[in-house]
Amino acid sequence: MDRVNIIHRPIGEVGLWFSGEEAGYVFIVSDRNVRRWADRTGIKAKGILEIDALEDYKSFGTVVDICRWLMEMGADRNSILVGIGGGVTTDITGFAASVYKRGIRFAFVPTTLLSQVDAAIGGKNGVNLDSFKNMIGVIRQPDAVFICPEPLDTLPYTQIISGAAELLKTFIIDNSKGLYGKAVETLSRIREAGGKLDGYSGILGELISEAAAIKAGIAGRDPFERDERRLLNLGHTFGHAIEKESGESVPHGNAVAMGIILAARLAENTGLAEKGLTERLEADFKACGIPTGCPFEIGRLTEAMRKDKKAEGGLVHFVLPFKVGHVETRSLSPDDVTRLLQE
Ligand SMILES: NC(=O)c1ccc[n+]([C@@H]2O[C@H](COP(=O)([O-])OP(=O)(O)OC[C@H]3O[C@@H](n4cnc5c(N)ncnc54)[C@H](O)[C@@H]3O)[C@@H](O)[C@H]2O)c1
């Protein structure tokens, strides 16, 4: 598998990468809300298409619209499609580029914290099918992912919180550089500053760059999620169940954070985690402004866990944190998990 080309640079310098005669036509799909950032990249695009970054539009219909637009604009097989926006935009764009003319090159400029540390990294590109998330998709790497600090300046604090859970998740999985503590400290300071990033974007930049590198490393070693990549699902089995049970009213990042706390409790109740891990993580997440309390009694999540799309033969892979920097997977039945958490 090709290594992911993650490029950290100011947004005004992104366009330089696309210059040169062999570069081919460049087309941009931009989230309507970040059009100003798309214009600041300095990319000389042959066309720019604005889309609404809503989960409902993360559909096959939008992919068809993009492909039709590319065809009308004369995009050939040497063209490159650039997705600028959060995870909704990068997921749709990566998928459209992967199927248009059997696949053209693509690149991303992720503009949310979540997409910079997670969605734009790792090569999973896809769209929803009816109410089933990410049901249709491909695994294919972009030619480049540009991580620029500036777009975070316009990101609402709720979106910072949504990405914060994935950022902390990454350092719970791999704390080899001791960045979990630094991430908690930085996110707590941002919360204390009323959600303003001023003065913190520099430090956050280092954390984003390390988290993106960790995800890229894991996804590069196990692109098809047969082994190590499963670890990235820490908090997600419970998280998806919480999202489903809440009718999607609990945001994904918050659901993942609640899921990590449940996974820690499960690991402690089975004697696998170090004592006090759950309380430590809960306190850290709260300090960062991330909600941790699952709004439902655990029994209500059992059915949703059973229907988890990664369930195999009645067993579900749960990622359990043993301590910060050490997580492992265990295949467990949702009924056993429910019983263990009710103890
Ligand atoms: N492919 C993967 O591996 C992967 C991993 C995780 C999540 N995802 C997907 O990512 C999606 C969520 O992504 P997201 O959280 O980035 O959300 P998003 O793309 O929906 O963006 C969230 C909101 O922020 C706005 N926005 C984006 N950048 C902005 C900026 N710089 N300033 C102001 N507003 C801005 C958007 O318009 C939108 O309203 C989900 O569809 C999820 O399935 C994919």
Q: Max CA-CA distance within the chain?
A: 66
Nearest CA residue ID for atom 5, ligand 1: 119
The pLDDT value given to residue 21: 57
Does one domain contain both 115 and 241?
A: no
DSSP H helix total and E strand total for the chain: 12, 10
Q: Are strands 80-85 and 6-8 parallel, antiparallel or unpaired?
A: unpaired
Q: Which two tokens stand for residue 37?
A: 């950032």
In angstroms, how far is the first alpha carbon of the chain from the final one? 44
Give the global pTM.
Answer: 0.95
User: Counting Cβ atoms within 10 Å, is residue 71 exposed (0-12), middle (13-18) or buried (19+)?
Assistant: exposed
Does one domain contain both 198 and 73?
A: no
**CATH number of the domain where residue 136 is located:** 3.40.50.1970
Residue with tokens 């040497």: 78
Residue pLDDT tens, the chain, 343 long: 456 799 999 999 999 999 875 678 999 999 999 999 999 999 999 999 999 999 999 999 999 999 999 999 999 999 999 999 999 999 999 999 999 999 999 999 999 999 999 999 999 999 999 888 899 999 999 999 999 999 999 999 999 999 999 999 999 999 999 999 999 999 999 999 988 877 667 779 999 999 999 999 999 999 999 999 999 999 999 999 999 899 889 988 999 999 999 999 999 999 999 999 999 999 999 999 999 999 999 999 998 888 877 778 889 999 999 999 999 999 999 999 999 998 7
Q: Is 53 in the pocket of ligand 1 (CB under 6 A)?
A: yes
Does one domain contain both 190 and 336?
A: yes
Residue where a domain terminates, one of 110, 125, 154: 154
- Domain-embedded: residue 16: yes
Does one domain contain both 101 and 16?
A: yes
Number of domain units in the chain: 2
Q: Is 115 in the pocket of ligand 1 (CB under 6 A)?
A: yes
The CA-atom distances, in angstroms, between 325 and each of 108, 171, 231 are: 29, 7, 11
Does one domain contain both 248 and 313?
A: yes
Does one domain contain both 19 and 70?
A: yes
The CA-atom distances, in angstroms, between 331 and each of 26, 172, 312 are: 45, 20, 9
The CA-atom distances, in angstroms, between 315 and each of 105, 140, 182, 255 are: 38, 28, 36, 21
The pLDDT value given to residue 135: 92
Ligand 1 pocket mutation, candidates 11, 31, 231, criterion most atoms within 8 A of CB: 31
Q: Which two tokens stand for residue 118?
A: 């997670």
Type of residue at 166? E
- Domain-embedded: residue 134: yes
Does one domain contain both 240 and 253?
A: yes
Type of residue at 307? K
Tell me 274's DSSP state.
Answer: P
Q: Half-sphere exposure (CA, 13 Å, Cβ side) for 71?
A: 11
Does one domain contain both 200 and 291?
A: yes
Q: Is 154 in the pocket of ligand 1 (CB under 6 A)?
A: yes
Q: Is 141 in the pocket of ligand 1 (CB under 6 A)?
A: no
Q: Which two tokens stand for residue 320?
A: 């359990």
What is the H or E stretch that residue 326 is in? strand 326-332
- Domain-embedded: residue 102: yes
Does one domain contain both 80 and 36?
A: yes
- Domain-embedded: residue 1: no
Ligand 1 center–CA 120 separation, angstroms: 9
Ligand 1 center–CA 84 separation, angstroms: 10
Residue ranges making up the domain that contains 42 = 6-154
Does one domain contain both 25 and 111?
A: yes
Residue where a domain terminates, one of 101, 135, 154: 154
- Are 234 and 172 spatial neighbours (Cβ–Cβ below 8 Å)? yes
Reported for 280-286, long-range contacts at CB under 8 A and 24+ positions apart, including other chains, are 280/324, 281/172, 281/321, 281/324, 284/168, 284/184, 285/165, 285/168, 285/257, 285/260, 285/261
Q: Which two tokens stand for residue 260?
A: 């990590």
Residue with tokens 């430090």: 203
- Domain-embedded: residue 222: yes
Nearest CA residue ID for atom 12, ligand 1: 87
Residue where a domain terminates, one of 131, 154, 177: 154
Does one domain contain both 69 and 128?
A: yes
What's the length of the chain? 343
**CATH number of the domain where residue 324 is located:** 1.20.1090.10
Q: What are phi and psi of 309, to 5 degrees?
A: -70, -15
The pLDDT value given to residue 1: 44
Q: What are phi and psi of 293, to 5 degrees?
A: -80, 120
CA angle 164, 331, 260 (to 5 degrees): 20
Does one domain contain both 88 and 162?
A: no
The pLDDT value given to residue 197: 76
- Domain-embedded: residue 12: yes
- Are 242 and 250 spatial neighbours (Cβ–Cβ below 8 Å)? yes
- Are 105 and 82 spatial neighbours (Cβ–Cβ below 8 Å)? no
The pLDDT value given to residue 103: 98
Q: What are phi and psi of 123, to 5 degrees?
A: 85, 5
